[in-house]
């Protein structure tokens, strides 16, 4: 039976023994009283699962036979969760003692909000921001909001384009509806998919800066990550936007593709190959795209026009250039 205000915190582990203590001990130290912690292990080989079981026996453990990735690990935990709210959390984090309280309180007071994301600060430089939510461009590109800016101490809640996959709190029924339409989300792109579909359903996403997370984050890119991001971006845009919207947006979409192609050229041969593979995946996944279009339409409460008004029209040039290094 789902509890009225209980939170199911989901932590996904894959060979991250060094991160467990800082994360789990801070989670268990929450001032909010009604929560459970589900520790998902994606077939680790570093004894991190046995370590966690020995040191933190009160956790609920889910041991997957394969590495399902971060998003797949979250999905595998949902059947074990008993909370009304779901709180995925990266394991390379530490959370403030009132992290959960502030997020639950905000959702309780705002029924039109589906999900909230906290103020995420850099673990090793706690005066600088990792993310205050995510800016999602209408082409599907996503950027950490206010990355590397100095924290000014604001506690004022802010409506944002998208949530950060590092940490968020979402109403269970919303996540389950999304999960039933999407299935297992791809690594690196799950936060964009959840954010976009939440907006499509007519709900809002807010950042609650009073809730604080410290994240061991470095902005970086590699060819495999680049391929996965681009594959997901192409297939998702074609799955969710109506043909007329795509046609109207074509100049902007083409301009974005040109910029990404230049980025690939500057990064080198492996990135060019990754970009080409991502384009090829559109044809390979054509049937899946058609099926997803039908599923996403069942979630739709907003027109494409209303949806695009909730997204960003600006690219974050500093973050793009940073990954060229």
155-212, pLDDT tens digit by residue? 999 999 999 999 999 999 999 999 887 765 565 688 999 999 999 999 999 999 999 9
Torsion on CA atoms 46, 82, 297, 285, rounded to nearest 10? 20
Sign of the Cα pseudo-torsion (240, 241, 243, 246, in order):
negative
Tokens of residue 325, six digits:
């290094």
- Give me the residue spans of the domains in the chain: 7-215, 223-322
CA 199 – CA 206 distance, rounded (Å): 11
Lowest mean pLDDT among 83-87, 94-98, 278-282: 278-282
Those residues with Cβ within 8 angstroms of residue 35's Cβ, 6 or more apart along the chain or in another chain: 6, 7, 8, 9, 83, 87, 100
What burial letters (b/e) apply to 77-101, b meaning 16+ CB within 10 Å? bbeebebbbbbbbbbbbbbbeebbb
Lowest mean pLDDT among 23-37, 124-138, 208-222, 282-296: 282-296
pLDDT of residue 257: 93
Lowest mean pLDDT among 5-14, 54-63, 69-78: 69-78
Counting every residue written for the chain, the total comes to: 325
User: What mean pLDDT is predicted for residues 207-224?
Assistant: 95
User: What mean pLDDT is predicted for residues 1-29?
Assistant: 91
pLDDT of residue 2: 45
User: Does the structural domain 7-215 have CATH classification 1.10.10.60?
Assistant: no
pTM of the model: 0.93
State the greatest distance between any 2 C-alpha atoms of the chain, in Å, as a whole number. 57
Tokens of residue 277, six digits:
């593979």
């Amino acid at each position: 039976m789902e509890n009225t205000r209980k939170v199911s915190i989901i932590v996904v582990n894959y060979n991250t023994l060094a991160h467990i203590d800082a994360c789990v001990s801070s989670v268990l130290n929450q001032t909010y009283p009604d929560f459970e912690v589900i520790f998902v292990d994606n077939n680790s080989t570093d004894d991190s699962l046995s370590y966690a079981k020995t040191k933190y026996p009160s956790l609920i453990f889910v041991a997957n036979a394969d590495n399902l990735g971060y998003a797949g690990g979250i999905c595998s935990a949902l059947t074990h969760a008993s909370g009304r709210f779901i709180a995925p959390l990266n394991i390379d984090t530490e959370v403030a003692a009132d992290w959960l309280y502030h997020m639950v309180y905000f959702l309780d007071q705002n029924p039109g909000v589906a999900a909230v994301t906290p103020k995420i600060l850099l673990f090793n430089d706690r005066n600088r921001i990792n993310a205050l939510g995510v800016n999602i461009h209408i082409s599907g590109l996503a950027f950490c909001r206010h990355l590397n800016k100095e924290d000014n101490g604001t506690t004022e809640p802010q409506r944002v384009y998208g949530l950060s996959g590092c940490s968020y709190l979402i109403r269970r029924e919303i996540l389950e509806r999304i999960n039933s339409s999407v299935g297992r989300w791809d690594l690196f792109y799950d936060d964009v998919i959840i954010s976009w579909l939440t907006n499509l359903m007519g709900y809002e996403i807010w950042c609650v800066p009073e809730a604080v997370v410290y994240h061991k984050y470095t902005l970086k890119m590699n060819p495999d990550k680049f391929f996965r991001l681009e594959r997901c971006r192409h297939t998702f845009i074609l799955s969710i936007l109506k043909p007329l919207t795509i046609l109207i947006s074509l100049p902007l979409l083409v301009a974005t593709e040109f910029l990404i192609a230049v980025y690939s050229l500057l990064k080198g041969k492996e990135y060019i190959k990754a970009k080409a593979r991502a384009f090829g995946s559109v044809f390979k996944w054509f049937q899946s795209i058609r099926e997803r279009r039908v599923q996403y339409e069942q979630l739709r409460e907003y027109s494409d026009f209303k949806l695009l008004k909730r997204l960003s029209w600006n690219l974050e040039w500093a973050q793009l250039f940073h990954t060229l290094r």
